[in-house]
Structure 1
């Protein structure tokens, strides 16, 4: 039987893994393939950061889990485990099976008891994962067969009253910023092969994942079919209703700008795109923008 490392060695591994992931993913902004994840080495030897067969990874040398993952499923397809967010703004991660004492569940519980930082690998495409780190298991709900995951704190702060409500709002906003938004961006960039849908610009640093319907609205879910990969100019034009996209994927420019004379950006970047189809769409049809969401956004564009 393997003898577990002490806390200092355990934390050394976790920090080394997260430092490596930070360098390889631009501080958690870019996803990695399962093949790229195999490049990690600790003390000169390969050490898998994610279990390719199971949801929860606990190396034999550790007494607690190192990471866990949520597999990718296309929109409309059910995941084997329905991970999601609770009403308190915190994320939920389902137990392995229905036995709370399954070794993988015990491994996550051990990380919770010791307040150890973990890595959450979230699938954004087939064989492609976006790591979020550090995250903490801060509780469990056995009646729902799930752990409570905090992507902001380690659960040590337990405020009451007004402070509790303020922290809940903060955690909700920060969870969206640290988890949901990067996952949405990585999924959209992967589907559009890091190119602008309107002009095909391929410089990832100049691209955004735009919501067709804003995420503050009920229909504005952070799903691939509510997303467009847009360069920063076309994203701003879309959000300010200078540029619209019809449900048949044809670009429209606000009529008053079509007669305006300004410079090459207006002429080539906007006016010449009027009436033209999107230049880039996901090759997988079920990942293309939903026509009903485009219709909602286009109706707003026509009102301007």
Structure 2
């Protein structure tokens, strides 16, 4: 192994270790400014390119990281248009030239089988790092690479017909390793770490809830299909005990309003009936989508 190979391996390992510490084991997003704090061997080192989607340092022979910028208007899962029939993710070339330097850098990372970092935008200049990810193969006809968040290596090969149980496994693990962390970070950031129903601020007690569940076609992983909810209100929302009208007013199922129980039912649920949401994103494009709320509210009404 050459000195350059040693540095490459050490850099990738140290970068992932540093990100784990700085993001509290993935719980806290990181800003582009904070990323400038990283150094190796006492020297500052950029982990993410400030202008480009692909970071290929001059000291390395292949790419180190890729980046997806945040858009509040996204109307699909972060990777919805990039999932193949095998359940794996895709990442587009830079431009349409296969020999562009950044595409060559990704191709070399694929050839070497080295781990990369995916900086997924959850706000302007704020990212959720996903790592390690690997490039499995290239699809030149679609101008893209196949990405694996360390799930499918050794399980699938290019051109294979993937059995349904394998595809379900890949999708489930990818959702766990990429979709859920990105969705949670995006929603909690938009709601300023407050429960939409009761304004509870303790992050450990908050979830990112889907208005329409992600297993359904309309269950997009965009912030407008999300609500920051404390665990009790999330559970109540999921089981249709609690509903949210399209005008952002809370309702509690009629039979529970007749029950007599302890303070949680009395104040935590019944007390919110007919009340407006207490926390909403400041950015209008990040607020709950009225059509999605209406669809879910119809299910709540039917359950009652």
| Corresponding residue for residue 138 of structure 1 | 136
Q: TM-score, normalised by structure 1?
A: 0.92
1:10 deviates by 1.0
Separation (CA, whole Å) in 1 of partners of 2:45 and 2:75 = 32
Q: Structure 1: any 5+ residue segments left out of the alignment? A: none
When structure 1 is superposed on structure 2, of 29-38 and 121-130 the one drifting more is: 29-38
**Residue 94, structure 1, aligned to residue 92, structure 2:** yes
Q: Structure 2: any 5+ residue segments left out of the alignment? A: none
Separation (CA, whole Å) in 1 of partners of 2:229 and 2:45 = 37
* SS of residue paired to 2:135: strand
Partners of 1:83 and 1:93 within 8 A in 2: no
Give the alignment of 1:81-160 within 5 angstroms: 84-153=82-151, 155-158=153-156
When structure 1 is superposed on structure 2, of 22-31 and 173-182 the one drifting more is: 22-31
Separation (CA, whole Å) in 2 of partners of 1:144 and 1:161 = 17
1:73 deviates by 1.3
| Corresponding residue for residue 233 of structure 2 | 234
Partners of 2:195 and 2:228 within 8 A in 1: yes
Which digits, 9 at most, give the CA deviation of each residue in 1:48-83, with x for residues without a partner?
1100111111111111111010111122589xx997
Distance 1:29 1:89, change over 3 A: farther
**Residue 174, structure 1, aligned to residue 173, structure 2:** yes
Partners of 2:152 and 2:170 within 8 A in 1: no
* SS of residue paired to 1:155: coil
Q: TM-score, normalised by structure 2?
A: 0.92
1:7 deviates by 2.3
Which digits, 9 at most, give the CA deviation of each residue in 1:80-110, with x for residues without a partner?
x997222211111111111111111111111
Distance 1:22 1:252, change over 3 A: same
Distance 1:166 1:11, change over 3 A: farther
Separation (CA, whole Å) in 1 of partners of 2:178 and 2:74 = 21
Distance 1:230 1:82, change over 3 A: closer
RMSD over aligned Cα, in angstroms?
Answer: 2.2
Distance 1:97 1:210, change over 3 A: same
Paired residue total:
299
